[in-house]
Amino acid sequence: MNVVGIIPARGGSKRLKDKNILPIAGKPLIGYVIEDAMAAKSIDKVVVSTDCEKISAVVRENYPVEVIKRPAEFARDDSPIEEALLHAVEYLEKNGSYKADIVVWMQANIPIKEAGLIDAVVNKLIESDADSCVTVCEAEEFPEVMKAIDEKGMLIPLFKDVDRIRCQEFPKRYRLDGSVLAMRAKNLFSTRGIRKAHIYLGNNIIPVIQKKKMYSLEIDTQDEFIMAEYYINRFYQQVKKVS
């Protein structure tokens, strides 16, 4: 079974310029994800998909992984991520005679992972009949108590007739944190062109719950970058040793 790890890294980030290659604790941000992907025993090929020459140069200079040039039409602000994944899978099949059975998508700006996480996610999928296996973290907000703003500018309930008040009364909710998403390649092809949230993950999705908030920290702003740097400098090396 062929398992490819794909790290999409688009250029032109708006809120934090060049975020994917910013140096953090001695290495480019994307380097943490590449190194974890390379260390995963369940992944037999690691590629970076990017439209940016600066990112390509940094990756090629520092890591022995293949860089796939992503076409501009798959790198716009509104481009669905599944288009980039499909492009990479099809590129490998056409140019490298590599046919992926499982695609492992890892976001370049989520640098902190518990040791063995990638293998845990991939192996859980392989050992099941599920369509995908993804990392999740517990949601801190409850949609039942959220508000919307109507055409008069007034707050209105997002959901009507909610009969629970305290947060403890609501069941636990989880959100996909984007750290590791392993999916069967056939899902990507069978849902091509259908614009629905996470449809490429299929109907049967297995969760792997993250144990700490820092494992789900996504870096898009300067504040998040500073927080990640703090975790990496103070805790990350110790966590990697004891996890």
End-to-end CA distance of the chain: 27
Residue 148 lies in a domain: no
Residue 158 lies in a domain: no
If one counts the domains in the chain, the total is 1
Assess contact for 139 and 174: CB atoms under 8 A: yes
CATH code, domain carrying 94: 3.90.550.10
Closest CA to 102 of 197, 208, 38, 186: 186
The single residue listed with the structure tokens 């669905």 is 80
Domain span at 47: 3-137+175-242
Closest CA to 113 of 3, 197, 200, 7: 7
Assess contact for 112 and 231: CB atoms under 8 A: yes
Distance CA 3, CA 90 (A): 14
Distance CA 204, CA 184 (A): 11
Residue 155 lies in a domain: no
Residue 165 lies in a domain: no
Residue 233 lies in a domain: yes
- Please tell me the pTM assigned to this model: 0.90
pLDDT in tens, the chain (243 residues): 999 999 999 987 777 989 999 999 889 999 999 999 999 999 999 999 999 999 999 999 999 999 999 988 888 877 899 999 999 999 999 998 899 999 999 999 999 999 999 999 999 999 999 999 999 999 887 777 888 999 999 999 888 877 766 667 778 889 999 999 999 999 999 999 898 889 999 999 999 999 999 999 999 999 999 999 999 988 766 555 444
Distance CA 89, CA 93 (A): 6
Neighbour tally for 38: CB within 10 Å:
14
Residue 88 lies in a domain: yes
Residue 25 lies in a domain: yes
Residue 32 lies in a domain: yes
